[in-house]
Amino acid sequence: MKQITRNYVWWENLDDDIERTVHDSEPYRALRDTAPAPLHSWPWPTEPCTTGREPDVALSERRLCGRLDLLRSDTGEQVHNKQAAQETGSPLSTEKWDGLKDSEGRIHEAEGVKQLIFRGGVAHSIRNIVWKYLLQYYKWDMTSSEIKAYQKKKTEEYYSMKLQWRSITEDQESRFSEYRDRKSLVEKDVNRTDRTHNFYAGDNNQNLVTLSDILMTYVMYNFDLGYVQGMSDILAPILLVMGNEVDSFWCFVGFMEKIASNFNMDQADMLSQLAQVHQIISFVCPDFAQYLIQRDSSNMYFCFRWLLVWFKREFSYIDIVKLWEVLWTGLPCINFHLLVAVAILDSEKEVIMNNNYGFAEILKHVNELSMKLDVDSILSAAEGIYHQIISAPHLTNQIRIILGLPTLSTSTNTTDSLESENKEIDAAANSSQLSNGNRKAEETEQIYYRPEMEEVMYHIGLDFNF
């Protein structure tokens, strides 16, 4: 109903007004006290369906509204796989959410809730509640009274940490260089974070002060990591949704638990994820992977910003909050954000290849996609790629490990084959990282000193301060 209404009219708080009108209607009152049907969470497939006979490909093509891709097995045989257009559902609504709680406020069907969120996201009216569960601030089996006591405890803990840095005097700060440098970086980044958005626009904006306070408190919470550029991008939408300093902090902590390794100084995890994106592309779209190798672009550095802040700068606020809550479900596999990156590249590969783009042109093209991507289409394509991968008869353990799928037991010959495959991929990735034909630095050299990485950071709008 809300979606149909938005096709014709719109006003502020439209969703809330529609929900209020429905709740006050006679039909709704008659059904309101009816016990809701229980959720049934279905396990996600990790293997192709086997029926004991060859599938009717023609019939499958008629049933699936998607595009047909051809994957090649190790023997060169072409294998039909469907990248079906996955339908999105309606967002998790207030009434659905309330109906999932027991009399004491517990959520028993956490996996079922995640499946609803994966399929349609969360209604904005309850995002500030549901996100606390998705980001593990609250546990799904907490009662309402337990949540109240827990929130009081975490509020006291937050302000205790905040007091630690607020009580540092200028004299102390003058002899505390690490703290001083991080404080300076926070101030610099906050002043340029999403200033075109109304929530953070204008001078003397209290929301910017709150943003800064939360980031400085996180420095005290995790001083080993401290503050690294990009974290303000992660926090900004959370503060907008939560509208509360303490809740925003603990949700930010929950998000950082998932991606903290992205911000490590050696960038090892980021480089690992970039390599995994190329491995997936090599499996799903080998011709494009080969093209990238030939253009010295298989290092995938043009995806760096995507993975660092989980596509924050690529989508509008409306879209990024949906994308994040879908990714937070952990469905349909681990590292689904890598498949999102592959889906974007897959949608642009023809433009890249037809125009014979090299690394610089690919980087420019990718940056220009910002705010031009449709989140529902990308999520649908990413899920299609997932089903395409698990249906492939030549699915390797290498890809299974990346996506957290069960691995196959391997014989000595198979193990040797996998090791050989890994060496080939590593060699291709290494060759693409050469600068002017020179080999990359020795392994003992720190990764973050590579000059080509500085160029990437400059072009994607990040300072080279890792």
* CATH number for position 219: 1.10.8.270
User: How far apart are alpha carbons 297 and 134 in whole angstroms?
Assistant: 35
Task: Kindly state whether residues 228 and 362 are assigned to the same domain.
Answer: no
Asked if the structure places residue 334 within a domain, the reply is yes
Residues 11-42: tens digit of each pLDDT: 666 677 787 888 778 777 666 655 555 555 55
56 against 347, higher pLDDT: 347
Percent of all residues in the chain with a pLDDT value above 90, rounded to a whole number: 67
Task: Kindly state whether residues 350 and 411 are assigned to the same domain.
Answer: yes
Task: Kindly state whether residues 285 and 236 are assigned to the same domain.
Answer: no
Q: Are strands 66-72 and 78-84 parallel, antiparallel or unpaired?
A: antiparallel
Asked if the structure places residue 242 within a domain, the reply is yes
Q: Is 109 exposed, middle or buried (0-12, 13-18, 19+ CB in 10 A)?
A: middle
Cα separations in angstroms, 98 against 102, 192, 242, 336, 401: 9, 39, 19, 28, 37
Determine the pLDDT at residue 89.
80
User: How far apart are alpha carbons 165 and 183 in whole angstroms?
Assistant: 10
Asked if the structure places residue 426 within a domain, the reply is yes
Task: Kindly state whether residues 225 and 273 are assigned to the same domain.
Answer: no
Mean pLDDT for all residues in the chain? 82
Mean pLDDT of 140-160: 97
Give the H/E segment covering residue 21: helix 14-23
In residues, how long is the chain? 466
Write down the number of H helices and E strands in the chain. Answer: 23, 2
- Of the ranges 7-11, 169-173, 442-446, which one carries the lowest mean pLDDT score? 442-446
* Three-state secondary structure of 264-292: CCCCHHHHHHHHHHHHHHHHHCHHHHHHH
Q: Which of 236, 260, 284 is the endpoint of a domain? A: 260
Asked if the structure places residue 113 within a domain, the reply is no
pTM: 0.76
pLDDT band at 69 (very low <50, low <70, confident <90, very high): very low
Domain that holds residue 367: 268-459
Task: Kindly state whether residues 367 and 279 are assigned to the same domain.
Answer: yes
Task: Kindly state whether residues 297 and 360 are assigned to the same domain.
Answer: yes
Q: Which of 260, 291, 307 is the endpoint of a domain? A: 260
Task: Kindly state whether residues 332 and 433 are assigned to the same domain.
Answer: yes
Task: Kindly state whether residues 387 and 443 are assigned to the same domain.
Answer: yes
Asked if the structure places residue 38 within a domain, the reply is no
Q: Which of 260, 292, 316 is the endpoint of a domain? A: 260
Asked if the structure places residue 450 within a domain, the reply is yes
Strand, helix or coil for residue 443 = coil
The total number of structural domains in the chain stands at 2
The answer, yes or no, to whether residue 445 has pLDDT greater than 90, is no
Task: Kindly state whether residues 420 and 442 are assigned to the same domain.
Answer: yes
* CATH number for position 417: 1.10.472.80
Asked if the structure places residue 34 within a domain, the reply is no
Task: Kindly state whether residues 365 and 274 are assigned to the same domain.
Answer: yes
Residues 388-402: tens digit of each pLDDT: 999 999 999 999 999
Cα separations in angstroms, 292 against 270, 299, 364, 435: 19, 9, 15, 15
Asked if the structure places residue 60 within a domain, the reply is no
Give the H/E segment covering residue 78: strand 78-84
Task: Kindly state whether residues 431 and 450 are assigned to the same domain.
Answer: yes
Task: Kindly state whether residues 249 and 203 are assigned to the same domain.
Answer: yes
- Rounded to the nearest 10 degrees, the angle between the axes of helix 451-459 and helix 359-367 is 30
